[in-house]
Amino acid sequence: MTMHSDPDCIFCKIVSGQIPADKIHEDDELIAFRDIRPAAPVHLLIIPKTHIAGLADTEASHEALLGRMMTLAPRLAREQGALDGFRVVVNTGRDGGQEVYHLHLHVMGGPRPWKHG
Over residues 50-85, the pLDDT tens digits come to 999 999 999 999 999 999 999 999 999 999 999 999
Q: Are residues 73 and 105 in contact, defined by beta-carbon separation less than 8 angstroms?
A: yes
Query: What pTM does this model have?
Result: 0.94
Per-residue pLDDT averaged across 9-19, rounded? 97
Q: What is the pLDDT at residue 34?
A: 98
- Out of 43, 102, 104, 106, the active site residue is 104
Q: Which CATH superfamily is domain 10-109 in?
A: HIT-like (3.30.428.10)
Q: Where are the domains of the chain?
A: 10-109
- Give me the phi and psi of 87, to 5 degrees please: -115, 150
- Strand order of the β-sheet with 23-26 is 23-26, 30-34, 42-48, 105-109, 86-89
Distances from the Cα of 86 to the Cα of 4, 44, 67, 70, 77, angstroms: 30, 11, 17, 12, 7
- 2 vs 115: which has the higher pLDDT: 115
The model's confidence at residue 114, banded by pLDDT at 50, 70 and 90, is confident
* CB contact set of 26 (below 8 Å; sequence gap of 6+): 32
The predicted pLDDT at position 113 comes to 80
Asked about 43 being catalytic, the answer comes back as: no
